[in-house]
Amino acid sequence: MVYIRQDKLPKLKEYKYSGVDHSLVSRYVLKPFYSNVVIHCFPMWMAPNLITLTGFGFIVANFITLLWYTPTLDQDCPPWVYASWAVGLFLYQTFDAVDGSQARRTHQSGPLGELFDHGVDAVNTTLEVLLFSAAMNLGQGWKTVLTLFASLLTFYAQTWDEYHTHTLTLGVISGPVEGILTLCFVYALTAYLGGGSFWQRSLLESAGVQNYEFIPDVIYNLAWNEWYMVYGGVVLVFNTISSTKNVMEARRARGQKTRVALLGLLTFAVAWTLIPIYLYLQPIILYHHLVPFIFYVGLINAFSVGRIIVSHLTKSRFPRGNVLIFPLIYGVFDSLGPWLQQHVGSAFGDKWGRFFGWPSALGNDVYQVAFVFMCLGLAIGVHGSFVIDVIWTICDYLDIWCLTIKHPYQPVKENERKEEKKEK
């Protein structure tokens, strides 16, 4: 499949990065640190995309330790494991932020860098959900699914916002800045407290607050991790509304219909209508094999986001639909038949009950687990082919390499003088 058509390739040369960061932490703390300290640690021959990929390597290492110590997301790990997650995530954030400075420094800025950066971020979002769930001892269940939903919606909405406004907008509180720093703090604190089981305790009780009569038991018994999810829900609503507002204003300013842009959210909405239905119908996946299923769902989102970025770079129409959703549709259809037979057909007796529902081809045991791994394999294949095809196409057209610098910048004396004047 061709993901970038030949007539759209010239648009790549019109690319110009546009971004706005309203974060005070980023402006007064992180950016000075990146510009004055970190950037000088990387040699001029190092390609920006290689920096991004190296940073992602820290997250992969974190995930490997997760699979070794807490594959079920509900076991306490040695304190050094949580500490390594904090360090690894901070290094990832640092490398991810510095790659843009390296691109400008080496004069290698281009559309491939933005695509590569967003593609790695999309995969990291899913891995970070698993790491956070393990740190909080959420286990395999609905809490982890809710965390995944919030994280993926935030990332999807931000990419949808960038497509329509042509500008990457980070608010006063954003996932790439405050969100990651919060996670680093959570991991470090978990290491200090000795394990994720601490977050299962009641926040108010562990803080020494008495159980007064005017405090409902539901509120008083809320655990630390549940309060964190409430906080995450508030931030999710704020960021989603902000992205929607940005898109509406941008389209109105161009004299375009706003409701057309909202159709771009349907792909995400359809996927997340099917996901909870499937998990409800297949508790064996929800409570025993959630990790591979989360990978599959994460790749659905990564594939959608990647196609949106490609459309943004080539100024093509917004991509709707996602081929990776079709296996999920089949999974829901296959699981829905026995449920209808049991809960609806049984109420009408043997005579009429047989007209409700149908037998499952996969069942609810080993074949259902195999189906999830098949979906994961398909998602890896489809998304992998997308990544390879797009990178190959862009590199071939722009005459560049992905992880190395093919044409090092050679400044002439005039340019050197101009740069010296700018620095002064």
The domain that holds 234 is classified in CATH as: 1.20.120.1760
20 forms bridges with which residues in the sheet? Answer: 169
169 forms bridges with which residues in the sheet? Answer: 20
pLDDT at residue 210, rounded to an integer: 80
pLDDT at residue 305, rounded to an integer: 95
Q: What torsion do the CA atoms of 342, 343, 346, 348 make, to the nearest 10 degrees?
A: -150
Domain with 392, as residue range(s), is 6-322+365-423
Comparing CA positions, the residue from 310, 338, 335, 305 lying closest to residue 322 is 305
pLDDT at residue 341, rounded to an integer: 82
pLDDT at residue 169, rounded to an integer: 80
Element (H, E) at 363: none
Q: Does residue 346 lie within any of the structural domains?
A: no
Q: Does residue 359 lie within any of the structural domains?
A: no
Q: Does residue 272 lie within any of the structural domains?
A: yes
Q: Does residue 263 lie within any of the structural domains?
A: yes
383 belongs to the catalytic site: no
pLDDT at residue 128, rounded to an integer: 94
Comparing CA positions, the residue from 194, 184, 35, 16 lying closest to residue 109 is 16
Q: Which of 40, 118, 164, 407 is catalytic?
A: 118
- d(C-alpha 311, C-alpha 42), whole Å: 31
pLDDT at residue 418, rounded to an integer: 58
Q: Does residue 342 lie within any of the structural domains?
A: no
Total of domains in the chain: 1
pLDDT at residue 257, rounded to an integer: 85
pLDDT beneath 70, residues of the chain? 1, 345-355, 411-424
Q: Does residue 353 lie within any of the structural domains?
A: no
Q: Does residue 356 lie within any of the structural domains?
A: no
pLDDT at residue 288, rounded to an integer: 94
Q: What 3-state class would DSSP assign to 46?
A: strand
Q: Which residue has the tokens 């990647």?
A: 306
Question: CA separation (Å) from 282 to 74, 175, 350, 360?
Answer: 20, 31, 25, 12
Q: Does residue 369 lie within any of the structural domains?
A: yes
